[in-house]
Amino acid sequence: MTTAASRPAPIDEQALRARNRHFYDGLWGGARLCDPAGFNTWPLVRSLTEGAPRRLEVAPGLRPRFPVEGGHFVDISTPALAALRAAGGQALQGSAAALPFPDASFDAVCAMDIVEHLVDDDAVLAELARVARPGAHVLLSAPLHPDSWTVFDDFVGHCRRYEPDTLLAKLAANGLTLERSAIYGMQPKASWLLKLGMWFLTHHRPLAMRWYNRTLPLLARAQKPPNLVTGMVPTAGVDEVLLVCRKDATPGSTDRPGPHTHPTP
């Protein structure tokens, strides 16, 4: 098991935003855009997006799960945005807490490994739900168990881990019904391996970034598709979960423009 570090200190939002951008610009600079079909989530994603021409992925970096061509993307990383645009995506720089689209703009929304990075996660979940049309699928992931906090969480800019009941309550409060879930993620469980990776990231960052970008696609191809279950998967000892949600129908609701609104796709 990984050795838990102390829980996160009070968050300086501006410093966290700068740290996240620095980390991901460094991670994606010089890296290649991965094909979504190379990830173990692809069978699931394909089933969710085949009938969803209007789709949005938030903070994909160079590891998008949704098809790139014709899709919409929001990210903070300049290298990632450039690569997504070059591959036919419509990519905007922005925040997950203030998405630049009107209500009910998309048939499917994806936000993998993002809610834990933002100070106001309630605003992020509200925005994901707002831009999804009623009945749309919202695919996301999140790390669990605050007591499992490690130095890795600090390094990559996490604000929190979730108690499962808290996460479910936040989804429900934003009109997102959990349909299916699965164990997700590839964080090493051995404390020595995590410490070794952190040492390389701290002392030999360019080498560590190159190694990560070369090996992750290979590891991703070797992963089995997620074992989805109805509702929430048993969470004891689980580091991270994949969540397939559906936006609740809201009869009588009216569209309102989002921040810095762009035309509906």
pLDDT tens digits along 195-208: 555 555 565 556 55
Averaged pLDDT, 27-36: 79
Domain enclosing residue 205, as ranges: 13-247
> Would residue 26 count as lying in a domain?
yes
> Would residue 201 count as lying in a domain?
yes
Query: Tokens representing 136?
Result: 């749309």
> Would residue 149 count as lying in a domain?
yes
> Would residue 265 count as lying in a domain?
no
- pTM exceeds cut of 0.75: yes
> Would residue 182 count as lying in a domain?
yes
Hey, which of 15-29, 31-45, 85-99, 155-169 has the most confident mean pLDDT?
Answer: 85-99
Which pLDDT does position 158 carry in this prediction?
80
Tell me the residue ranges of DSSP E strands in 88-234: 90-93, 106-111, 132-143, 176-183, 229-230
pLDDT over 90 at 47, yes or no: yes
pLDDT tens digits along 68-109: 999 999 998 889 999 999 999 999 999 999 999 999 999 999
Nearest to 129 by CA among 151, 154, 99: 99
Phi-psi region of 231 (alpha: psi -120 to 50; beta: other; left: phi over 0): left
> Would residue 7 count as lying in a domain?
no
> Would residue 238 count as lying in a domain?
yes
Beta bridge partner(s), residue 108 = 55, 137
pLDDT over 50 at 4, yes or no: no
Q: How many domains does the chain have?
A: 1
Concatenating the DSSP letter of every residue in 5-18 gives -PPPPPP-HHHHHH
> Do residues 106 and 233 make contact, with C-beta atoms less than 8 angstroms apart?
no
Residue 87 is part of a domain; what is its CATH number? 3.40.50.150
> Would residue 225 count as lying in a domain?
yes
